[in-house]
Structures are given as structure tokens and as C-alpha cells.
Structure 1
Amino acid sequence: MQVLIVKTSSMGDVLHTLPALTDAMQAIPGIRFDWVVEEGFSQIPTWHPAVDRVIPVAIRRWRKNWFGSETRQERCDFKRLVQERTYDVVIDAQGLIKSAALITRIAKGSKHGQDAKSAREPFASWFYNHRHEIDKQQHAVERTRELFAKSLGYDKPESYGDYAIAARFLSHLPADAGQYLVFLHATTRDEKHWPESHWRELIELMAPSGLKIKLPWGAEHERLRALRLAESFPHVEVLPKLSLQQVAEVLAGAKGVVSVDTGLSHLTAALDRPNITLFGPTDPGLIGGYGQNQHSLISPEKSMATLTADAVWAELQKVI
């Protein structure tokens, strides 16, 4: 059976889809997947053993110049790639009008997705041949597992979901694996940041442990923050700019991780590394870290500043 997945973004949502592929792989011998995903996350599906082909899409970039000649050519090339195969099943796990209209609509195969009551954008269900009611009062991973089970005709397993990517990275860990922590300090919204003074206090509290701390970054302002956090601390390393694959390799070797609410915290969960995620204005609810080594520290005041370094250090010591 050949299946096309439409799940384009965000990083956390793409990662949350992986356990559904594992379920399908175990329920249907020989099943294979192609996956349409935003170009920035195109490495993620390649990590799963059931994925044959990744088809990158660039809607985020294209919409900046939708009718430009280069964009038009890229859109034509994308359509050709999507329509090269006729699939037994097309699963739209995104549930948005944009992805349904631009991707699912042009794919060849029996189209499945959430019904109007279940989808994030109800009108997206118009583009599906088969619409499934999915219980919204469950974690995002479980919702996607249920969608795949109903679309492909098997019972959703009662067991905990398996991302099935950790072994890929654990088989070739870095030389200093288990000797460092990773602090994921970068996120998209200002109110989701933990104050730099708190990070530095935590770094100081950790010094006697003998563990190193590694600070990844993506954008230039994140690199500058990492440099400020590391200043005067010999046990802190600001990493060079890394690909998503390289970040995953670093995370896989970590003894533990402290994270703000960011996509990389979900990657940490997928790699089954002990992780403390800090939440202020956002509620982990049904979209938080999914994994048996994932722990949340939530500010009752909905303010990151009220989460103290002492509290984080106390929680971290329980898991490392």
C-alpha cells in the first residue's frame, strides 16, 4: 500500500505525526509513505523507516511572491512531483484550507481527513472523499494516530505512541554523550522566553555538577543571546550553526534538556531524552511534549519570570 501524507508544518506538528506512521507500519505489512512537508522541516520525515519519498513544499516562501516567474515554475514542479504517483490513500493530517486546497486537492488517490467538527478549519473537509470524526479531547499525537487508523482501516493501538526515530541517532552518539545538558533557550514569542538572568542563574547552579552545557541557536539574535548566556562560564559551549539533523544528533547525546516552548522541545521528546519544558503564557494541554521522559513546569501566574532557577534545577536533578 502506498500512502501520501499531507502534513506540512510546524516542526512540532510534523514530529507529532511520526507515531501514526509507526502504528500503520506495524498494522499493515509493506505499507510505504510519501510525505509533503514544508522545505524547512524536510529532514524530519526521512528519519522514519516507513517513508520512501519526501516532497518539499514552500508555501511560506511562495506566498511572498506568488505570481513571480520563479515561484510559478516551482509550483509547477511541485504539482508534477505530487501527481507522479496515484496513491491508495491520501491522508491530510493538516486540517487547514490552505493545505487542502493547494496540496490534497491535486493529489491522486482516495482522500481522507478530519470531518468539519474535528478539523482545525472546518471547510478543509470539503476537499476529502472520506471524512473522519476525531476526538479533539486527546493529545495531538493521539488525534493523528486515530486519523491514520480510521483512514487505513485498523484499530488504533492502546499502547504509547512510538516515534521510531531514536534508534537512528542512538546508534552513533557523539563522543561526549551523557556528559552534557542542552539548554533550548530560543522561541518565537517574547512572552515565551525565560529571562536571561534566570538562565544564567541556572547555569551557575549547575556548575558543581561537572556537566557541560551546550547552547544551540538558529537566527543571529539567538546566537547573540547564547553568547550572553555563556559569558564567563567555562562549562558552557555556544554551538556553531547546525542543520536540524545536527541538532538532533546533539540532543540525542544529551544527559538532559531544559527547554522553553519551542519546536525543538518536541524533537527532544521524539528522541526520548529527559526534558524539562518551561511554560508561562502557553498551556501544554493537548499539544505539550509527548513522551515518557517529558516534564512540564508551568507558571501559575502565566509568566515565565515567576519560574525560578531553583525550581528548574530541583526538577532537573530528578531526571538526570
Structure 2
Amino acid sequence: MSSHLAEGLRSRYPDARICWLAEPQVAPLLEHNPALDAVIVWPKLRWKELLRTRQWGPLLREARDFIVRLRSERFSLAIDAQGLLRTRLFAWLSGARERVGFVSREPGQFLMTRLLAKGAGSRLMGSEYFYLLQQLGVTTTHLRQRIDLAPASTAAAAECLTSVGVSAGYVVFAPFTTRPQKHWFDQRWIELAQATTLQFGLPVVWLGGPADRQHAERLASAGGGIPLAGTTSLAVSAALVAGASLVIGVDTGLTHLGSAFDVPTVALFGATCPYSSTCSERTIVLYHPLPCSPCRRSPSCEGRFDCMQALTVAEVMQAAERLCPARLQA
């Protein structure tokens, strides 16, 4: 959702050196962005392992070397796009004189030199980042989310599809998140898989992370399709989304990628509603707010998830057919 920051900053500061600090799994989504000069990778998992095994010496040495690497860039501006304690800490450790970020409940606000609200409540996907750029003097009317994939990721996605017998188009399902209140229901995914295959004549590819692998296999066994959750990197999963004929998913990164790639996308929201419109005219957001919506991390429905119950298979199919009125082709 923040991917347009790079292009916006480049338009405002054409001669600047612009770097993006990222965790390893998302770095491949940034490394080929033409607006960036470098992607600095924070080895989060490596540090967590050193911490878990109490290897204090190597951890301290690697942390020291990492801070030296950050400061060697001699940044004049650091932007914290997340508003977390750790991202504020990295902004401060960068040595940048100006450190701009969002107001949030997280500690560490004193580490920033300028804090911004998240705008006037726009429901546009990534609106807070458009607002941040505007506060930095950037014209944003021409911007939209942008992900540039490596040719190797696209080739790996094609090879993955060939290995499972997909030679034409396909529909991506992204049903998995880390919070149960954002999930739709298994039986509805199963019915939807059967309905989309019948309507569009294309197989369903189930995507997710490593923890979702067995769940995807169960859904595919019951509803049909190909379970690829947990079998590819994030970059290859992104390439699979980019090549899809249709994406249907809940509030999760793979669904948001569908909008960023301008793929026909149906987004199912309930406990959260991060946006109701996108820069892509080929995204439909389905959301039926209740008096308790959005509950985010504090559901009060005793596990019924009434907001997600309100989303029916028929409604999702109607949205898919509006985006893809004809039988989908490769």
C-alpha cells in the first residue's frame, strides 16, 4: 500500500539518493523499483535466532555493523511509514536530521522530529501515504501503488504453474490472514471455488504463507483447485497474482497486490476496512458495516463474525461477474 512513496519522493527530489529499509521477505518486491537507488535489508530472522540462542556477541556485532551501514548513507530525511516502535528506532538510528512519521499509540514518538496524522479519513487504498507525500510537498495526482517484479520471479511463477498443469488462465484465492476475525468461512470458499470454476472455466490457485499450507490443501481437496500456499516465496506469489485473471481475497497483502497490479480483484472486508476504493477501477470492495464495525482486534460477536457472515457466495460471484462479464481467457 505504501509502494507509491518511492515514485513520489523521486518526483520531488530527482537528484536524491533514495533507499528503502525492508525485511528480507519483502525486499524482492522493492529491488527493481526504478525510483529507488538501494534496498537495505534488515536481517530480522537472523537477529531473532541469535537472540533466541543467546549469542550476544554476534548479535551485538551484527547490530553495530548494521547501524554503521545505515549511517554511512548520511541520510538527511528518514520516513517512518508504519508508526511502530522499531521503525521509529531505525529512523533515529539512521542518523537523519529530519525524521517524519505517523502519530500512533506505539511508544517512541520522541525519536521523531515530526509526527503527522493519517489525513482526513479518506477511504482510498494507501491514503495515509498520499497524505504523507503531500505534507512533504509532493504532487500525488499521478501516483498509484507500484510493484516491479524481477524477471526471475515471473519466470519462477510460470514454471510453478507449468509444474501443476496450468497452461492458460487461473483465478487466485487469498483466504488467509493472521487474525480469525478477518477470515471468511471454509464452506463458502469451497462453494466459491466450485462456482468460479464452473462460471469462468479456470482453475483456482490457493495462495498464502507457510502456515497456511495444510489449510489450503484441505480447501482445494474439497472445492477443487491447486494449493500453492506456502510453496513459493512472496515474490513468486506476487508474480502469480500479477498473472491471474481474477483475484478474490480477504484483508491480506496478496489481495492488496491484486489492486496494485490492476488485476480484477474482489476484496472481502469485515472486521477491518482499510479502504473502500483503490487506484484501480478493476477492484470491488465488499463490506457490510455493522454498529460494531470495524472491530479490528477486539471482536464482540463471540466468534460469530457477523460482518463476514453478511458476505455471501452469491454476492461475491456477482462482483466477480461484473469485473469479468465474459468467460475469462488466458
Instruction: Give the TM-score normalised by the residue count of structure 1.
Output: 0.79
Query: Within 5 Å, which residues of 2 pair with 1:1-320?
Result: 16-58=1-43, 62=47, 65=51, 68-69=55-56, 70-101=58-89, 103-114=90-101, 119-121=103-105, 124-131=108-115, 135-138=119-122, 139=124, 141-151=126-136, 154-159=137-142, 161-165=143-147, 174=158, 179-208=169-198, 209-220=200-211, 222-231=212-221, 236-239=225-228, 241-285=231-275, 291-300=280-289, 302-320=306-324
- Aligned partners of 1:135, 1:233: CA distance in 2, in Å? 42
2:146 and 2:310 map into 1 onto residues whose CA distance is 36
**What letter is aligned with 1:110?**
R
Does the CA contact (< 8 Å) of 1:182 and 1:213 recur in 2?
A: yes
CA contact (8 A) 2:33 2:148 kept: no
In the aligned structure 2, how far is the partner of 1:140 from the partner of 1:264? 14
Higher strand share: 1
Identity %, equivalent residues = 24
Q: What is the deviation of 1:63?
A: 6.0
The corresponding residue for 1:3 is: none
Shift of 1:233: 5.6
Provide TM-score, normalisation by structure 2: 0.77
State the superposition RMSD in angstroms.
Answer: 3.1
What is the CA–CA distance in structure 1 between the aligned matches of 2:2 and 2:82, rounded to whole Å? Answer: 10
Give 1:13's aligned residue: none
Is the 8 Å Cα contact of residues 33 and 50 (structure 1) preserved in structure 2? Answer: yes
Residue 150 of structure 1 deviates from its aligned partner by: 3.4
Following superposition, the deviation at residue 318 of structure 1 comes to: 0.9
Give the 3 Å change call, closer, same or farther, for CA 86–192 of structure 1 in structure 2.
same
Shift in Å at residue 24 of structure 1?
2.3
Point out where structure 1 has 5 or more consecutive residues left out of the alignment. 1-15
> Residues 121, 251 of structure 1: CA spacing in aligned structure 2 closer, same or farther, 3 A cutoff?
same
> How far apart are the structure 2 equivalents of 1:275 and 1:54?
29
**Structure 2: how far apart are the matches of 1:92 and 1:303?**
32
Query: Are the aligned partners of 2:92 and 2:99 in contact in 1 as well (CA < 8 Å)?
Result: no
Local SS of the residue matching 1:316 = helix
Report the Cα distance in structure 2 between the residues aligned to 1:41 and 1:111, rounded to whole angstroms.
25
- Return the alpha-carbon distance in structure 1 between the equivalents of residues 201 and 134 of structure 2: 46
Contact 2:118/2:132 (8 A) holds in 1? yes
CA spacing shift, 1:171–1:244, aligned 2, 3 Å: closer
Shift of 1:60: 7.2
Give the drift of 1:275.
0.9
Confirm or deny: 8 A CA contact 2:264 2:283 kept in the other structure.
Answer: yes
State the AA in 2 paired with 1:219: P
